[in-house]
Chain A
Amino acid sequence: MWRPCGTFDETYQKDMAIVRTPLRWAVLVVSLTLTGLLPVLVPYYFVSFLNNLAITVILVMGLQIVSGYCGQISFGQAAFMAVGAYSAAILTQKLGLSFWLALPLSGIFTGLFGLVGGAPSLRIKGFYLAVATIAVHFVTMWLILHLDLTGRSQGLTVEPPSLAGYIFDTDERMFYIIMPVMILMTYGARNLVRTRVGRALVAVRDNDLAAQVMGIHLFYYKLLAFFISCFYAGVAGCLWAHLTLVAHFEQFTLLHALWYIGMLIVGGMGSIPGVFFGVILVRILDELVMVVSPFLAAWFPWLGSAPAAGLGVTAFGLVLAFFLIWEPRGLAHRWEILKASLRLYPFVH
C-alpha cells in the first residue's frame, strides 16, 4: 500500500507495525491525550454524544467483520446488542458479578448466541441470509418478552459500574470506560483483519468456492465471523445498558439494525476507518437535524414543527441514496484517495 515518501520497512516487525513512523506515534499520543481530556474540555452534551458514538462504533465494527470482511449480510446486530445488554444486566444484577467481569462475559455469551444466528450461513447467503437474520431478530425479541429472566416487557434495571468505590454514574465518568474499550476493540479489529483469520474471511467474501478449494473451512470461518461480530455487539450492549441504566427490548429495534447497515454503506464496507466515517457522519447528521429542525420550524412557520422535525429520516435516506449512487465504496474509499494524493503531493501520477 501507500507509504510516506522516503519511509522504508527494513524489518519484518516494522513491516507489520500499525504505527509506522515517529510522526504517526506523535499524532497517536497527542490524540489519545486529547481524547482523555475531552470530558474536561468539552461540554457535557458532547461527552454524551461521544459515548453514544463510541458504543455505535463498537457495534458497527462487529458488523463490519461479519458483513464487510466476511460478506455475510446481517440484520441481527440490534438483536445481538440486546442480548449483550440483557446478559450484562442479568450477570450484574441477578448473579451479582462485577461489571468488569460482565463486560467480556456478555460479549462471549452474545458470541455464542450469535453462532445460532450464524448457523444458516453455510446453506444460504445474500438476501436469503439477510432474511434469516431478520428472523433471528424477531425470535430474540420474542424470547426477551417471554422469559422471566429478562423481566419480560418491563426490562431490567442496571446499577452503574464501580471500581474501588468510585462509581461511574455520569456520562463523563462512563466516557473513561467506553472510550478505552472502543480503542481496544478497534485495535483488535484492525489486527484481526491482517491475520490469517482476516485473510480467510476476505477470501470467503470474495469467492467462497475458491476459498473452499484453497482449504478454507467455510462453515468454521463464517461462524467465527458471526461469533466475533456478536462479541462486539455484546460488549456494545453491555456498555449501553450501563450507560442508560436499563436493558429494555424497545431500545433495540429492527430499524436500528437498518441504520447500522446504512452506516456501514456510508462509511465503506471492508474498512476499519470506514466504520468511523459511517458512524460519525450518520450520527452527526442526526444531531444536526435535531438541532436545526426547531429553527427551521421557527424560520418557516408554514412548515410547522412536525415536518421540520421529521427531516431526520429523509436526510438519512438521501445520504444513503447519494452514497449508493455516487460512492458505493463509501467514505473510506475517498479517504484512501485523499491520503494517496497527499503523500504524492506535489507530484502527480
Chain B
Amino acid sequence: MRARRILLVFLAALMAAGWATIPSLASAREVTFLDLTDFTGPVAGLALPGSLGLEDYIKDINARGGVQGVKVKYLGVDTRYDVARMLSSFKRYRRDDSVLAINIVSTPFGKVLKEITAKEKMAMTIPGDGEYQASPGNFFTWGPTYQDAFAAAMDWVIDDWKKQGKTGKPVVGHLAWDSPYGREPLRGGKEHAEKIGINLLNPEFFPSGTPKHDVYLSRLEAAGANYIYVACVDPAPTNVLRDAAAMGLHKKIQFITDYWGPTALGVGTHPQAVEGAVVVSFFLRGEEAKNHPITKRIWTTYRKDPAEKMNETYGMGIVWGMTFEAALKDAIKRVGAEKLSREVIYESYQRITGMSREGITGSCAYSPSSRRGSQEVKFYRCTNGKIVPITDWVRTPDAVSLHKW
C-alpha cells in the first residue's frame, strides 16, 4: 500500500513538474533547435551519436557567447522510429515560437511531415531522400542525396573495374533495407548506373532486424555480382559484411556501403569481416574524423572521453549545428535578433551556399534551387581494423534529375 502511494505521489509530482515548466521553454534571447531523433530504435546507431554531436556543438556555441549574443537551446526528443510519437512531438513544439528549425532523423517522418507542412516555411533537415531535391520545399538533406551517393559509387566501380584491367560490364547488386530509404538510391541511381554501362542486378531487400543475410547474398552471388552496394544503418551493414565473410564472398565480391556503413562500432566489433569493404560517405570517417581538430576538441571537451571512442556520425551532428549557426548568423544580420522567425531562418538556409564545414563534410550546397547539404563524398576502405580514405572529396553526379518523379 505504501509503495503504491509513493508511486502515485511520484507520478503526480512528475506531472506537475512537467506542466509547470512548459512556459520556461521560450525566453527572449534564446532560440531553439528541435531535434526529433531516434535515441532508441532501428536507426539509433546513427541518430544517437549524431544528436550528441549536435548537442555538444550547441553547448560550444553558447560557451562562445551564442550567435551574436543569441543563445541556442538544444531540444532533443526521442521519437523511437514511431510516426505517431514524432507527429505528437512536432505538433507540441511547433507552437513554441522559439523553435526555429527542426532536425528529423527518419525517412518515414519526412513522408508524413512533407504533407502536413506543405504550406509552411520552416527549415527541416533530413537524411538524404532525393524527392526533396526533385521538388525543393522546406526539407534540406544533410549531404548529397542517396541517389547522388549511389551514382558516385557507380562511377567509382567503373574506375575500379578499369584499374583492374577487366573488360565487359561490371555486375552490381543492391542489397538494402526493405524501406523507402533502402530503395531511394535506385530512384535516379539506377538510371545513372545504366547510363555509364553497369549491369545492375535486380535489387534485394530485407527487413530491418534481419539476423542473417545469407539468402540475399547467395542470390546476388549466383547472379554473378562483382560488386554489392549495401544500404542499411550500422550495425546492419556490418552484419551483412560479417555474413558475406562467413560465406567467403568478401574475397570475390567488392562490397560498398552507403553513408551508414561500418562506423567505429562495426569496425571495432568485426574488424576481419569488414576488411576491404568500401564506404562512401559525405562526412569524415575513421581516424580522419577522430583526429579532426574541431570534432576532437568538442568530443574531448564535452564527452570527456578520448577521441578513439568517438563514433563518426558525431561529426555529422556537429555539421548540423554549424549549418544552423551559419543560418542564424545570416538571419540576425538581415533582420536583427528581435525579428527572428522560422521563415527568416528558412530563407537563410537557402542563402548560406558555399559555407565551409571545416572539412568535416563538403561545403554547404543549399540554395533557392538546391536542397542538398553538400555535393561531395569521400571513399574509404576498412583496412586492418581502421577506416582509411582512398580518395579525396569527389563531386557527386546529379542522379536526382535522371529519375522521373
A interface residues with partner B (beta carbon < 8 Å): 43-45, 48-49, 52, 138, 141, 145, 152-155, 157-158, 171, 244-246, 248, 250-251, 253, 255-256, 286-288, 290-295, 297, 304-307, 309-313, 322, 326
What are 22 sample pairs from A and B whose C-beta atoms fall under 8 A apart?
A43-B95, A44-B95, A152-B183, A153-B179, A155-B111, A244-B112, A244-B116, A245-B112, A248-B111, A256-B82, A287-B88, A292-B17, A293-B77, A293-B78, A295-B18, A305-B51, A306-B48, A306-B52, A309-B77, A310-B39, A310-B78, A322-B7
Q: Which of B37, B91, B108 interacts with A248 by CB under 8 Å?
A: B108
Dominant secondary structure of chain B at its interface with chain A? helix
Q: Are B84 and A251 in contact (CB under 8 A)?
A: yes
Q: Are A313 and B182 in contact (CB under 8 A)?
A: no
Q: Are B17 and A305 in contact (CB under 8 A)?
A: no
Complex CA distance for A248 and B106, rounded to whole angstroms = 13
Q: Are A306 and B108 in contact (CB under 8 A)?
A: no
A-B pairs with the 6 shortest C-beta distances? A250-B108, A309-B78, A305-B76, A245-B115, A251-B83, A291-B18
Q: Are A153 and B182 in contact (CB under 8 A)?
A: yes
Complex CA distance for A245 and B76, rounded to whole angstroms = 25
Binary A-proximity of B113-144 (CB < 8 A = 1, otherwise 0): 00110000000000000000000000000000
Known: A145-B178, A250-B108. A291 touches B19 (CB 8 A): yes
Chain B residues whose CB sits within 8 angstroms of the CB of A158 once the complex forms: 115
The distance from the CB of A155 to the nearest CB of chain B, in whole angstroms, is 6
Q: Are A288 and B15 in contact (CB under 8 A)?
A: yes
The distance from the CB of B194 to the nearest CB of chain A, in whole angstroms, is 20
Q: Are A294 and B75 in contact (CB under 8 A)?
A: yes
Chain B residues whose CB sits within 8 angstroms of the CB of A290 once the complex forms: 77-78, 85, 88-89, 92
Q: Which of B75, B91, B178 interacts with A171 by CB under 8 Å?
A: B91
**Which residue of the partner chain B has the closest CB to A145?**
B178
Q: How many residues of B contact A (CB 8 A)?
A: 48
Known: A248-B83, A292-B17. A309 touches B39 (CB 8 A): yes
Q: Are A245 and B116 in contact (CB under 8 A)?
A: yes
The distance from the CB of A68 to the nearest CB of chain B, in whole angstroms, is 22
The distance from the CB of B215 to the nearest CB of chain A, in whole angstroms, is 15
Complex CA distance for A313 and B91, rounded to whole angstroms = 21
Complex CA distance for A286 and B88, rounded to whole angstroms = 10
Q: Are A313 and B112 in contact (CB under 8 A)?
A: no
Complex CA distance for A52 and B84, rounded to whole angstroms = 8
**Which residue of the partner chain A has the closest CB to B7?**
A322
Q: Is B22 at the interface (CB under 8 A from chain A)?
A: yes
Known: A153-B182, A250-B83, A250-B179. A52 touches B116 (CB 8 A): no
**Which residue of the partner chain B has the closest CB to A152?**
B183
The distance from the CB of B180 to the nearest CB of chain A, in whole angstroms, is 4
Chain B residues whose CB sits within 8 angstroms of the CB of A43 once the complex forms: 95
Q: Is B27 at the interface (CB under 8 A from chain A)?
A: no
Q: Are A153 and B87 in contact (CB under 8 A)?
A: no
Q: Which of B80, B81, B84 interacts with A312 by CB under 8 Å?
A: B80
Complex CA distance for A312 and B14, rounded to whole angstroms = 13
Q: Which of A155, A253, A288 interacts with B14 by CB under 8 Å?
A: A288
**Given A45-B92, A304-B52, A322-B7, 4 further pairs, Cβ under 8 A:** A245-B116, A250-B179, A295-B21, A305-B39
Q: Is B74 at the interface (CB under 8 A from chain A)?
A: yes
Q: Is B291 at the interface (CB under 8 A from chain A)?
A: no
Complex CA distance for A141 and B35, rounded to whole angstroms = 29
Complex CA distance for A251 and B113, rounded to whole angstroms = 13
Q: Are A294 and B76 in contact (CB under 8 A)?
A: yes
Q: Are A306 and B92 in contact (CB under 8 A)?
A: no
The distance from the CB of A45 to the nearest CB of chain B, in whole angstroms, is 5
